[in-house]
């Protein structure tokens, strides 16, 4: 039963408008996100699993990361437009490759700036378009190495 009500919540939220000046709210669920993820940023909620209660206290880095996704969504005005664009960004970069998740410009921006708490307040509209992987990055396979390179490259932005 819980699965149905959780799915219903997720679907209903998807068809809402992105409201300005929202704070990321924490929400516990039984079935979401899938096990290997910490948080699922869903329509301004950071959803975490009830079998990981320590996540109820969100660390600064995760909060900044998810706030960047929220601002990306705000650019698109509707949650469904953001998620469709996010999905497309992912699919067109080969979803079966190991790196596909961080190849998305939405994730590149979030990873590059998650250590900078001041970034969300000065982020420009559609800033994710400035973030990309170089050919050199694409040859690498370790995502932590690539994340470090991305952070280095966009340090002064
Ligand atoms: Zn992310």
Cα(3) to centroid of ligand 1, in Å?
A: 24
Cα(66) to centroid of ligand 1, in Å?
A: 6
Q: What value does the mean pLDDT of the chain take?
A: 91
Model pLDDT, residue 110: 94
Q: What is the pLDDT of residues 124-144, one digit of tens each?
A: 999 999 998 888 888 887 888
Q: Residue 45: which H helix or E strand, with range?
A: strand 45-49
Checking if the pLDDT of 154 tops 80, the result is yes
CA distance 67 to 81: 17
Does the predicted model carry a pTM greater than 0.75? yes
CA distance 100 to 65: 18
Q: How confident is the model at residue 97 (pLDDT cuts 50, 70, 90)?
A: confident
Cα(116) to centroid of ligand 1, in Å?
A: 15
Tokens of 55: 């996540």
Cα(11) to centroid of ligand 1, in Å?
A: 20
Cα(69) to centroid of ligand 1, in Å?
A: 7
Cα(107) to centroid of ligand 1, in Å?
A: 5
Model pLDDT, residue 5: 97
Model pLDDT, residue 101: 67
Cα(70) to centroid of ligand 1, in Å?
A: 10
Q: What is the pLDDT of residues 100-111, one digit of tens each?
A: 767 789 999 999
Checking if the pLDDT of 114 tops 90, the result is yes
Number of domains in the chain: 1
Q: Residue 108: which H helix or E strand, with range?
A: helix 105-113
List the one residue out of 52, 66, 143 whose CA is nearest residue 110.
Answer: 66
| Segments forming the whole domain that contains residue 122 | 2-153
Contact criterion met (CB below 8 Å) for 43 and 16:
yes
DSSP symbol at 16: S
| 41, 57, 60 from 29: Cα distances, Å | 13, 15, 21
| 17, 86, 139, 152 from 147: Cα distances, Å | 31, 19, 13, 9
List the one residue out of 17, 1, 154, 4 whose CA is nearest residue 80.
Answer: 17
- What is the average per-residue pLDDT within 16-32? 95
The CA R_g of the chain, rounded to the nearest whole Å, is: 16
């Amino acid at each position: 039963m819980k699965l149905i009500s959780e799915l219903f919540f997720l679907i209903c939220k998807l068809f809402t408008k992105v409201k300005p000046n929202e704070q990321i709210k924490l929400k516990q669920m039984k079935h979401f996100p899938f096990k290997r993820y910490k948080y699922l940023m869903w329509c301004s909620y950071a959803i975490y699993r009830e079998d990981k209660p320590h996540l109820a206290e969100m660390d600064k880095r995760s909060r900044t990361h998810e706030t960047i996704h929220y601002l990306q969504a705000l650019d698109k005005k509707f949650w469904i437009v953001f998620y469709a664009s996010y999905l497309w960004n992912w699919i067109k970069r080969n979803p079966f490759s190991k790196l596909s998740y961080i190849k998305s410009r939405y994730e590149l921006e979030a990873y590059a700036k998650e250590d900078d708490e001041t970034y969300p307040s000065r982020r420009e509209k559609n800033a994710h378009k400035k973030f990309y992987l170089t050919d050199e990055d694409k040859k690498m396979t370790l995502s932590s190495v690539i994340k470090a390179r991305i952070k280095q490259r966009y340090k002064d932005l």
